[in-house]
Chain A
């Protein structure tokens, strides 16, 4: 079904340097904003003296959190609308757009200067004098929840804005107390900084004559940007026009409006001039919302034969100093969703406490709870295999949800749509020559190297977005028969401009090159839906595009019948033509569209469709083989094998791109990425690329991708998400491989990141 790859339409501009990112847009007469940020983790603001700064030539405005326009802005509500443990409601602390009275993390915006030039704005920001009184800060998650910890918000006792519990605690307790074996693990799932290549930026233009705001920003979806700007500023969404042509990476952290955007928005109205802000890389490190950051304990109960009976989790999830709109959601509900993994078990119980610390907020970041739970489950299963003396392949086979059990409802009432975990496992152990590993291990040993092999079989939710409006797409015809597809997906490199027209072209039976995708066009029809988050674009926006094409065909029937002078029921549509059944008399869709013409931008064949929110459950079986040099602690990934079920495959090359990127991003966390704070001062220690590890191409030189598609019955394309699967698989697969290599040397525990020094230290301690 996958189409032959003829290149991506967006690549010509992206690889010739003619893409246009937010910073590439300028408006005549624009002013420049610069933010002064807190350099301390927790302090009372005694005074902010802007006198000297205001006197700097070129300064138009200086705004702080107490400025009336800024103070009037509202924190958007959390999207956690369900109850937590004991009926607890999400207790989200109020986040000001800029600090008011207190700063709560290093990097929090304290004041914004708007000036004629970026240079003058920077000079003025430096001339602002802030008098602080330091307060005790808390960085560590366990310490933040302990009695006596410094309290961040009066309104959130115990630094606990949400305490989530799922499953059946009594049943699980009963099973654990009677179980033959219990396996326990505790892991740290470290904080990450997302680091999209494009730094965040915002350009706002307020047209007072029309009372309309035009804003340029890198976003994963115009409706999300518009909605969150509106929720914060109080300006109705229909008065905000969002422009985003090219977006240099999102990964979850470019979904909603950042506080800085709202301040710049207000400044454009205040000054009556366009205002532009481009963050420096150093600012992005401390003010882009971060990802992951859990302390996770998990246990699994087994019977005498190695059957999994139940699982239980007790985690703490970092929120940062304030909750991002989605942090508490994706770091509680998402891991809970697949907390039984790919295994049939009787019961599950988990608790995730969200903790506030004096750090940057945490939000969804590629995987957003999925890699975290897959890591825990697959580490537990590997550990169990070791402790029970059962082969890890055998143990998994024994416990998988079977291929014919779908749709399968887990003990925590989640319905997995389709899957074949055992089949994927068989595929991957075959291609990776799993059974020949011991020979390769001894060959490495002869060279003084420690070789390891690791496996993970996982499932994850994709799509979702319940409770929001359907995802719409619309097809519009021009009078020359040209076709435009409107979508509000927010591509950040996925290739939507190429693949959505392919879907429509295939459905209509016409050459996709006749179709132009207009994605996130502020002049397009007002479509509803979410953007590109949660591995959902193909499921929702791809399906909406397909449904819109079907609607075009349906609408054309009567018109074609009239043209062909027969009754509609005598006409059939195939391969781009309406044909009188059983004859060769036909009219092509393109010719019909030309004939019908249309007036004033409206064409009789224009058609839209909406795809309701739905979830599909992609999965995979991954194997990695690694070799560790005990002298330096360096791990080399010799080969990575990924067999995945992403449902039907629409465009194989684009799917490969998603898998490669996802696996690489997982490898980044495994081998080095670490958003590390100083526990005393609350300074971000890894605040530049001199200290923050980024995965480079050489890290994974050989990735095998295998397909094991199990079409999803939840959407007309039969697809499942692919954007996060690679990351979800990579964490447990690579860490299981590393531990497998280290075990013969006596190492039994290692947390990510497995940097050379940490691996070497683990070996030294085990000696």
Chain B
């Protein structure tokens, strides 16, 4: 680690002001991504502004046709919340699949989504459900938020404050955990929403994306059978020492089928 100063922000406004003043400052939420980076001296922020305890960023609220979740809500809270489990069980299930108990007890939804790691799980739910990302200055629709590997629509000094998830008719997330890291090697979030069928894929490519062909097929008939013969092209998917792009394409197909099957009861 390099030296830095640490401040626990007292309010969102204070955090904003500090960020605006110091371009080398960094927000600290759960620290599960940031701290390992610091320890390896891969980042050298001048200061860390801890927003993980801000009341404004915490909590889960049932708003009828949507569920609102604060950015500093920890994975374990999302996975165990009665509201989330009743309204969007797929999201609670997704949160319960992240990392290990230590990570789930510290990592936060805001930190994960702001980081936009292509192999992280939450982006699948945000895009799959067509959620709204709320920030310190605006609201951003999921379709406009993710910009590829570790890139988002967030501007310098902008803080994610929370998420609004429309409650779907039904939704499911199927994840194939990376055998080494446990992150998603491929994850498919399938949602039957008021605005139609959405299928969001994480893990396999350079960033979360919607599988439009699968959405079209499932719109015609929401069934595993409808996906038959539908191939995920491997071009553009990740190809590395752990798996070929072809294998990842296959996993996308398998995970999507399994997500659908878990909703329709098909084999």
**What is the interface of chain A, defined by CB distance below 8 A to chain B?**
119, 122, 126, 282, 631-633, 671-672, 676, 685-686, 689-694, 755-757, 760-761, 764
Contacts and interface: CB of A to CB of B under 8 A. Distances in A.
Contacts of A693: 179-180
A756 B179 contact: yes
B247 A757 contact: yes
Nearest 4 pairs of A and B residues by beta carbon: A757-B243, A757-B247, A693-B180, A690-B181
B50 interface: no
Contacts of B176: 632
Nearest to A122: B41
A692 B178 CA distance: 11
A690 B244 contact: no
Chain B interface SS verdict (over half) = loop
Given A685-B241, A691-B180, A756-B243, 19 more contacts: A122-B41, A282-B40, A631-B250, A632-B176, A632-B250, A632-B251, A672-B179, A672-B180, A689-B181, A691-B181, A691-B241, A693-B179, A755-B242, A755-B243, A756-B179, A756-B247, A757-B244, A760-B247, A761-B244
Contacts of B181: 689-691
B32 interface: no
A755 B254 contact: no
Nearest to B181: A690
Nearest to B241: A685
Contacts of B41: 122, 126
Contacts of A694: 180
Interface in B209-267: 241-244, 246-247, 250-251, 254
15 contacts: A122-B41, A631-B254, A632-B251, A671-B179, A676-B241, A689-B180, A689-B181, A690-B180, A691-B180, A693-B180, A755-B179, A757-B247, A760-B250, A761-B244, A764-B246
Nearest to A764: B246
A692 B241 contact: no
A632 B256 CA distance: 13
Interface of B: 1, 3, 40-41, 176, 179-181, 241-244, 246-247, 250-251, 254
Contacts of B247: 633, 756-757, 760-761
A122 B254 CA distance: 47
B246 A632 contact: no
A633 B179 CA distance: 11
A692 B180 contact: yes
A690 B254 CA distance: 24
B246 to A, nearest CB: 7
Nearest to A282: B40
A333 B181 CA distance: 37
B185 to A, nearest CB: 8
A631 B180 CA distance: 19
B140 to A, nearest CB: 29
Nearest to B180: A693
Contacts of A757: 242-244, 247
Nearest to A678: B241
B254 A632 contact: yes
Among B176, B179, B181, chain A packs the most CB atoms within 10 A around the CB of B179
A606 to B, nearest CB: 50
B203 to A, nearest CB: 13
Contacts of A686: 241
Contacts of A672: 179-180
Contacts of B243: 755-757
Contacts of B251: 632
Contacts of B250: 631-632, 760
B97 to A, nearest CB: 14
A454 B168 CA distance: 47
Nearest to B253: A631
A692 B41 CA distance: 21
A672 B251 CA distance: 18
A690 B178 CA distance: 9
Contacts of A122: 41
Among B41, B242, B246, B251, chain A packs the most CB atoms within 10 A around the CB of B242
A361 B19 CA distance: 48
Contacts of B244: 757, 761
A236 to B, nearest CB: 40
A633 B244 CA distance: 13
Contacts of A631: 250, 254
Contacts of B241: 676, 685-686, 691
